[in-house]
Structure 1
Amino acid sequence: MSGGTKTQTTTENSKRDPYGPAIPALQTIIDGGLAAYGSGVGSQVYGGPRVAGLGGTTQSGLDYLTGNANAGMEAAQAGNQYLAGNLANGGATAGTQAATSGLLSVPGVDIAGIAGAASRLSDPNSIAATTGARIANGTYNLDAAGYGGLNAGLTGPSQVQRSLQDVADGKYLGGANPYLDDIIGRAQNDAATKVAQQFSASGRYGSGRYAGATADAVAGIGTQARYQDYEAERARQAQAASAIDSGLLARTGASAGLLGAINDTRTANAGQAVTGANLASSAAQQGLAGQQALASVQQANNAQRIGQYGAALSGAQSDRAAALAGLGAVGQSRSDLLAPGQTLTNAGAVQDAARQDDINAMLQMFAEQQQSPWKQLGLLSELAIPVAGTGGTATQQTQQQIPQPGLLQQILGGGLATAGILGQTGAFSKTAGSAPGWLLSDARAKEGIEPAGRLPNGLGLYRYRYRGDSAVHVGVMAHEVAVRDPGAVALGPDGLLRVDYARATGGPR
């Protein structure tokens, strides 16, 4: 912790004697210590009683508890035997068991007959079920295939339509008659012959008038013949269309009649299917009614069994509750038997504790008597010895080297030198506060405090951080400095203690 020394040395002669006025006190301390040591005070052993032991009241209570514990044990054993027998029989007493046996032996309603009837009604192969299913499935349906065949024969064009369709379509209008041209040709030849005969009789054959008359006669015959043929063909066309329409109407009526017959057949078949479905449904409903009757009887039997077992369970639970209540009474009975003894024991314990307190007080008084002389000498030593070491005369020769700043001074900083000088001149009072040289060293301002060694004068060193600061410092604690040297500690304006490090880290004062 200390540093090196300078090569320069100083020599002085000094002699330190105890402070004169303190010498009588020091002699008193020595004489008193020798007298106390010689008398054996502080080394004597206490020979009185140390344990109070059991008093008469406590012993009486314990004896009472012991005697009545046996009686309570007999009652508990009797209750345990009763409970064990009760639980071995399922929690029921003999009377409950007999009543339960008789109750469970009551038979239910016989369902054999109802079950047989329900089975027959539910048989899917019964006559009603099979007949209804066949009817519903069309086994007995009327056949409408003949009507359908006849109706199919009415499809396509009829013979009348095939024969008259060309006429109705006007195929022969406009000269399409293959025989008309031959008839017109012969008529035109006859007309030309007549014109020639007439003009020949009058001697004008071959004249221009002859040619015009011939042409008019021939043209008129062709036009007249074609006009008549066109009119006749139009009449035949109307007759053919009327005949085709009449035939179609007749076929439509016949087809409608056939379709009506087919629909009537289908309607009849649908009615039969409904009848069959109703018959099958009726059979199923009868089967359901039989099953419901069977289920009702089975439900009644189940309800009877549940009631029987419920009554048996209720009886067993009642017996078990009675047994448990009896056991509870046994415990209370034991408590009542032991209560007076416990009361005596508690009262005796209070008396025993009071007697033990008396013994402890005697032990404490003996210890104080043994410590009293030494304590008084210690108080006188705390006053006289420091006073005796503060004065004296210089009669002894010593040689002193001037030390360099050590590790502690380097850690604390160069401000300590100035602080030491100012401290020697009395520049700071007990409220020096934060003036140079006085460093905050109050433990209340620090945290993370750990021991770090000791100074040569015995003062402890510690590592710590000031609250709110992460930097680590090494230094002393103000409250420890105040014990050794109150003048090295001052109270700051913030109510925290400062330390004059130059004074506090020096040798013994």
Structure 2
Amino acid sequence: MGWLSNLFGGGSNKTTTTSNSEPWKAAQPALKSGLSQAQKLFNADKDGSYYSGSTVVPWSQQTQQGMGFVQNNARANMGRTGLAGQYQDVINQGGFNDAQRAALANTQATANSSFNINANPAFQQVLRQAQNAARDSVNMSAGGAGRYGGGIHQGNLASEVGDLTSRMVGQEYQNWQGRRDAANNNLFNMGQQGIGNLGTAYSGLNQPAHDLFQVGAMNEDLATRQMNDKLRIFNEKNQAPWDQIARLNAVASGAGQMGGTTTQSQPGQNPFLTALGYGATGLGLLGGF
């Protein structure tokens, strides 16, 4: 049966593969041109290009004017000058300005006063007018009855004027008590107000400094952005050559992958069986021999 194996075997079953990494021939001119241009660009700018100017937006004219206005006002109202001086006076006077201290003094006088019927000139004037009116009324009544100057007339006059005076003095005492109680209550409220005024005055006293802090913070922000911009330029300058090398390497390493051919050979059909008409099934049909 060996002769049948030699006759119908068709040769060896070994497969041969040949690979070629050379780029596709049709693409080679374009690749050579691209590599040449990339090399020229690299040689012309090995250090790379970067923007060396500043990207920080400076203060506008309007902003600078506003900052100058705030700064001048702050300096004009610091220490003992301007508004700060007034606030300092309020603090020194326990939380009250001059007008408030005058009102406080009047309130204290009323709150600490003792009742004195002669202490209110206005009341004395009203009392005298009321007494005179009462006398006139009694005198007219007595004169009309023909009793003017008599004992009954004098008794009625004293009673009428005395009752009127007592009532008015009593009412004035009640009014004084009300005024003194109100003054004590107001005095307490004014003390509380003075404490609040101290906090307000202290805040106002420090406001010019806070305004200067804001202007200073704006200048510090600008200085920080300018410094960061310098660092950006420094980093970009140092990185630019490495970026150029990376670009050239990317072109060079990618060019070797843009093509290549592969050839593979495999055993074909037995020519003797093909001539007999069995083709690829010949071995199967003759397998029984």
Fold-level similarity (TM above 0.5): no
Greater share of helix: 2
TM-score, normalised with respect to structure 2: 0.43
TM-score, normalised with respect to structure 1: 0.28
Higher relative contact order (CA 8 A, sep 6+): 2
